[in-house]
Amino acid sequence: MSNFDKVREYLSRLNLSVDTVDEEEELVIVNDPESGIVNLVIDCEDPILILEQHILDLAPDCSASAYRSLLQYNRELVHGAYCLDEEGRRLFFRDTLQLASLDLDELDASIDSLRLAMAEHADRLLDIAKGRTA
């Protein structure tokens, strides 16, 4: 069984809605909007699995204290981290896992970390998106 097939099997066992499958790129997009998972890209890039979800766009005048808050929120995450795009204007959740040793529990924990982050940080992240200090 390929790593991509293993990941797809795990996602099925986790009852996640797989909305897009790109066999050639070995990536899927999953959704569970009730728990904050919206267009989570799961990409097999041997030797790692990349999980990435766009969270929000930052205000053009985002303050240094807002960026500091985002770094502090990273400390609260069990898996993964908040990160920015190249322009520093789009906030993402991102995690990477080793494909060779990937198991169901590890993938589940990574996805649960995103769920928990959305539940715990949603209000504060919205404040940052609106240009208010977090």
Q: Give the tens place of pLDDT for each residue, 39-49.
A: 999 999 999 99
Does pLDDT of 63 surpass 80? yes
Q: Name the H helices within 14-78.
A: 64-74
pLDDT at 133: 62
pLDDT digits (tens, 9 = 90+) for 78-103: 999 999 999 989 999 999 999 999 99
| Cβ neighbours, 10 Å, residue 23 | 9
Beta bridge partners of 31: 17
The domain segmentation of the chain, as residue ranges, is 3-129
Q: Read off the pLDDT band of 32 (50, 70, 90).
A: very high
Does pLDDT of 111 surpass 80? yes
| Cβ neighbours, 10 Å, residue 68 | 12
pTM: 0.92
Q: Cα(134)–Cα(128) distance, rounded to whole angstroms?
A: 6
Domain 3-129 has CATH 3.30.1460.10: yes
